[in-house]
Amino acid sequence: MSRLAFVIVALLLAGCTTPHRPQGHDNAAIQQHPEQYLVLAVQNNADAADAHAGSTVRGYARSNQYLQSAHARKLLKDIASEYQLESVDSWPITVLAMQCVVFKPIHNEATTELIAKLQHDPRVLLAQALQGFATNSGSDPSSRSQPLSSQPALLPPSANQGSYQSLQHSLRRMDIDNAHQWSRGKGIRIAVIDTGMDDKHPDLKGHISEQRNFVDDNQTQFIRDRHGTAVGGIIAADAHDPTGIAGIAPAAQLIALKACWQLKPDQDDARCNSFTLAKALASAIELQVHIINLSVIGPDDPLLTALVKQAQRSGIVVIGAADNQGLMQFPSALPNVIGVTSMEQSSKVNGLISAPGRDVLTLVPGGRYDFSSGNSIATAEVSGTVALLLAAHSGKQSLDSTQLRQLLMQSTETGASDQFASVNACRALSQLLGQPGCVRSIDASSTANR
């Protein structure tokens, strides 16, 4: 065996041994120069050594190792040698019976011509560029319609102030208080595929049942990540906390799957790629969640599309953000994905669900609070609403995405202008249960400019 082939096989085996962990400097290089890499998959029908999933922030427990089959190992060795590729990271996607590898061409970049050749190779199930994705919200002052605080984030309110729930105009717009008479999301597991999340935040303690990191091994950064913390707070912040805010589905459980990395310490902006998102999606399927929240946007991606379809076949509801122009990209463009836009968005596309997305109060790492805007936030609100519906319908035939979309659409209130239409959680539950008891909580025109 040549030295190069030996190195390639060793890297592939290392990828199987620790599937959740990127390889240090290679991971940083992938984040900075994704155009230099490609993703490739071959058939892998290896059996699981242990079907128990780990629950640590570092990813899978070592007992949960899916072995790479000898056939897959040989295929990848031969392909790497023939096309002059260097393996950077490798991971078995068991739900698709694939061994997935990030390769870097040894002599040039991951060109369109090279990928096309691999796509026509009968040994290859999938070959594509490593693509980039972004979260779609902002908490910096420039994203706000009105500056609400000169501080970068609000500190916890003092005892004599009470909670910040009076500032949660989005909850009144969606009639969440009345919705809670029927459901608080109990028993529903929601995978938040995003950045990390601050599980030490007072409003999230006890609400995160699983944490996995598919970006790095940095636990300190995991709990400092803003975007995932903001999304988690919208969905499931502790409504019984005498201070702080209330989540839409405070009895639901969050699964924090880090697939995106934060770009700046004081802003929500984050990036992900095909490989990190694929790991997180496969993990969500394995963990048998009820809902996957994807507050990210990006290009069409064959690998991620295959995983979303597998999630849907498994009965998981996938909810994803549209872009700022209301265009249907990944994930909102995929069939049966519930696509979401903010009700304040100037561009509307039929089929998207609208929810408040401007200056929505949510959580910031370190026990703080801040206002955030964007379709990411609206997506989290819809995920919380769907959790209420699924919990209220538990024990009966499950609701599929078509039924859920219909309930959400029928509940949507239109204000003084068609531009400001938002899903109403109480109305959706009322329709589902055949029960009266909802009131219009706040005039749409009065919230449009908040």
Q: What is the pLDDT of residues 228-238, one digit of tens each?
A: 999 999 999 98
Task: Using the CB atoms, write b or e for 282-309: b if 16+ within 10 Å.
Answer: bbbbbbebbbbbbbbbbeebbbbbbbbb
Residue 327: its pLDDT value, please? 66
Structural domain includes residue 53: yes
Q: Which two tokens stand for residue 181?
A: 């008479």
Same domain, 10 and 68: yes
Inter-residue contact 287 to 255 (CB < 8 Å): yes
Residue 66: its pLDDT value, please? 52
Q: How far is CA 274 from CA 187, 239, 298, 361, in A?
A: 30, 35, 10, 30
Residue 47: its pLDDT value, please? 53
Q: How far is CA 269 from CA 51, 139, 155, 237, in A?
A: 35, 9, 21, 21
Same domain, 101 and 187: no
Same domain, 323 and 400: yes
pTM: 0.85
Inter-residue contact 404 to 380 (CB < 8 Å): no
Residue 157: its pLDDT value, please? 55
Residue 156: its pLDDT value, please? 58
Look up 194 and say whether it is catalytic. Answer: yes
Inter-residue contact 372 to 139 (CB < 8 Å): yes
Residue 45: its pLDDT value, please? 83
Q: In what order do the strands lie in the sheet with 270-273?
A: 260-262, 270-273, 132-135, 296-297
CATH of the domain at 217: 3.40.50.200
Which one of 130, 165, 200 terminates a domain? 130
Same domain, 70 and 166: no
Pick the catalytic residue from 169, 207, 227, 290: 227
Which of 345, 341, 346 minimizes the C-alpha distance to 408? 341
Pick the catalytic residue from 376, 383, 411, 422: 376
Residue 427: domain span:
135-143+157-447
Residue 165: its pLDDT value, please? 75
Look up 241 and say whether it is catalytic. Answer: no
Same domain, 103 and 27: yes
Same domain, 357 and 417: yes
Strands (E), 158-286: 189-194, 208-213, 253-258, 260-262, 270-273
Helices then strands, each counted (H, E), the chain? 14, 19
Strands (E), 30-118: 38-43, 85-93, 98-105
Same domain, 260 and 113: no
Same domain, 81 and 56: yes
Pick the catalytic residue from 194, 203, 216, 301: 194
Structural domain includes residue 30: yes
Residue 311: its pLDDT value, please? 97
Structural domain includes residue 148: no
Q: Which two tokens stand for residue 131?
A: 């693509």
Structural domain includes residue 149: no
Euclidean distance between CA atoms 73 and 24, whole angstroms: 23
* Residue type present at position 23: Q
Structural domain includes residue 152: no
Residue 48: its pLDDT value, please? 45
Structural domain includes residue 427: yes
* Residue type present at position 297: I
Same domain, 139 and 126: no
Span 166-209, pLDDT tens digits: 788 899 999 999 999 999 999 999 999 999 999 999 999 999 99
Q: Which two tokens stand for residue 85?
A: 């590729």
Q: Which two tokens stand for residue 259?
A: 């697939």
Same domain, 366 and 418: yes
Query: Strand, helix or coil at 275?
Result: helix
Same domain, 121 and 164: no
The list of the chain residues with pLDDT below 50 reads 1-25, 48-65, 139-152, 159-161, 416-418, 441-450
Structural domain includes residue 231: yes
* Residue type present at position 213: N
Same domain, 331 and 356: yes
Tell me the chain's radius of gyration from C-alpha atoms: 22
Structural domain includes residue 308: yes
Residue 229: its pLDDT value, please? 97
Residue 214: its pLDDT value, please? 95
Helix (H) or strand (E) holding 379: helix 375-392
Look up 201 and say whether it is catalytic. Answer: no
The count of domains in the chain is 2
Using omega within 30 degrees of 0 as the cis cutoff, is the peptide bond preceding 122 cis?
no
